[in-house]
């Protein structure tokens, strides 16, 4: 309970600072919008083509946008050394990670939800009927990106080549999430939509494994 209470306080701080600056959401949204629109103009896909490669395109856009979003999450704490203040005030450092990954997942999910209608219109893929299932896939996939990305952001923030290191570490690690999320989304956007619980289960397992690793080793990632 103490962990959740502390996480709640820190999550409130993350949301409040982002709502005031709107740096992360704006950057991510613009990036995803650019990718989706540019691909739409370049290939001018038919509905059946969109069903085939649309999910992959969508998740690659989400993944690259997430790497942009994740970069500042620990760098911002270094600017005024607020990470030290948090470490000294928070009894369990895992709460710092939980709050950051929850915030990252929420921001990513929000941009994905804002992008879905645009994707649906540009690529002529109806999503309304499968929206609840699609939301589940987006949540599981975004949580995977959030958990792994927050851990990698903490590692890369202390490195010299931090801008390069984050995508270099993150993208290979997230390959399983990309494959599972794309497969689950493709099944939902097919002519006969189906919720692939095997892929959703895989995503949930991935999230749990990385969350456990973060719980076990997170404190070392925050040390100077």
Contacts to other proteins by CB under 8 A: 6, 9-10, 13, 16-17, 20-21, 79-82, 84-91, 223-224
Q: Is 192 or 224 the residue whose CB approaches other proteins more closely? A: 224
> How many angstroms separate the CA atoms of 163 and 72, rounded?
10
> CA quadruple 112, 118, 120, 122: dihedral positive or negative?
negative
Alpha carbon distance 159, 56 (integer Å): 31
Least gap, CB of 29 to other proteins (angstroms): 19
Residues 6+ apart with CB under 8 A from 127: 116, 117, 119, 120, 134, 189
Gap between the Cα atoms of 220 and 56, Å rounded: 35
Q: How far is the CB of 223 from other proteins (least distance, A)?
A: 7
Shortest Å distance, C-beta 93 to other proteins: 10
User: Measured from the CB of residue 17, what is the shortest distance to other proteins in angstroms?
Assistant: 4
Kindly tell me which of 42 and 80 has the beta carbon lying closer to other proteins. Answer: 80
Least distance (Å) between residue 143 CB and other proteins: 24
Return the number of the residue (20 or 44) whose C-beta is nearest other proteins. 20
Give whichever of 44 and 81 is closer to other proteins, judged by the CB atom: 81
Cα 50 to the chain's mean position, in Å?
23
Quote the CA–CA distance of 94 and 2 in Å, as a whole number. 11
Measured CA to CA, the distance from residue 51 to residue 151 in angstroms comes to 33
CA gap 140, 59 in Å, rounded: 12
For other proteins, which is the closer residue by CB, 44 or 223? 223
């Amino acid at each position: 309970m103490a962990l959740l209470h502390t996480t709640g306080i820190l999550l409130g701080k993350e949301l409040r600072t982002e709502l005031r600056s709107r740096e992360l959401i704006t950057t991510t949204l613009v990036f995803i919008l650019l990718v989706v629109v540019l691909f739409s103009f370049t290939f001018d896909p038919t509905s059946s083509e969109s069903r085939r490669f649309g999910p992959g395109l969508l998740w690659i856009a989400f993944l690259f946008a997430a790497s942009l979003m994740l970069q500042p999450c620990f760098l911002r704490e270094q600017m005024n050394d607020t990470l030290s203040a948090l470490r000294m005030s928070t009894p369990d450092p895992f709460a710092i990670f939980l709050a950051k990954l929850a915030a990252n997942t929420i921001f990513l999910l929000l941009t994905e939800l804002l992008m879905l209608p645009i994707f649906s219109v540009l690529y002529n893929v109806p999503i309304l009927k499968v929206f609840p299932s699609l939301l589940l896939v987006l949540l599981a996939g975004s949580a995977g990106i959030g958990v792994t990305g927050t851990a990698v952001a903490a590692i890369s923030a202390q490195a010299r080549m931090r801008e390069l290191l984050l995508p270099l570490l993150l993208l290979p690690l997230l390959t399983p999430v990309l494959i599972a999320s794309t497969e689950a989304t493709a099944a939902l956007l097919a002519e006969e939509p189906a919720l692939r619980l095997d892929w959703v289960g895989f995503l949930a397992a991935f999230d749990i494994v990385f969350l456990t690793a973060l719980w076990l080793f997170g404190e070392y990632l925050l040390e100077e």
